[in-house]
Amino acid sequence: MSGWMRTVIVGFVAGALSVLIFHQFGFWLSKELGYTPQAVIYNMRPVPPWSVPTIASSAFWGGLWGIVAAFLVPRLPGALGGVLGWILFAAIIVAIVNWTVVLPIKNGRFNMPGLPIIVVLPLVYGLWGFGMWLIARGTRAALGWR
C-alpha cells in the first residue's frame, strides 16, 4: 500500500474516532461545567439532506479533517510537526472554518457564538486534535507503518 493511502486511512480513522471519544468528552465536560448547557452528547438527531445522525455526520467530517491534518501537520517545522501541531490545527484552523464557513452555510448568515463558546470550542477542538494525534500515532505503530 502506498504511503499516501496509509496517510489517508490513518488520518480518517484518527479524526473520526477522536470525534467519538475526545470531542464528545470535551463537550460533555463543558456541559457538566455549565459552559455549554445546550450541548447534546452523541446526538442522534437526523442531519439533512440524508438524515444521518448528527454524531455520524460529525465523525465523518472529523475523519476528513483528520486526513487534512495527517498530510499537513507532519510537514510543519519543529514542534509544530508533532502533537502541538495537531492541537493547534484543530483548535485554530478547524474552529475558524467552522465559524466563517460552516455556520453561515447552516444559518444563512455569520452567527458568532457567545463568549463562552468562543473559548470552549477551541479548547474542545484542541482536545479533539490531541486525540487525533494519539490515535494516529497508535494506529501507525499498531500496523507497523512509519
Query: Which of 105, 82, 90 is CA-nearest to residue 26?
Result: 90
The answer to whether the beta carbons of residues 5 and 99 sit under 8 Å apart is no
Tens of pLDDT, residues 40-99:
999 999 988 899 999 999 999 999 999 999 999 999 999 999 999 999 999 999 999 988
Read off the C-alpha cell for 37.
448547557
Q: 52: helix, coil or strand?
A: strand
Q: What is the pLDDT of residue 49?
A: 86
Q: What is the pLDDT of residue 104?
A: 79
pTM value is 0.91
Confidence of residue 115 (pLDDT cuts 50, 70, 90): low
Measured CA to CA, the distance from residue 122 to residue 43 in angstroms comes to: 20
Whole-number average pLDDT of the chain: 91
Q: What is the pLDDT of residue 25?
A: 98
Domains of the chain, by residue range, sit at 3-143
Share of the chain above pLDDT 70, in %: 95
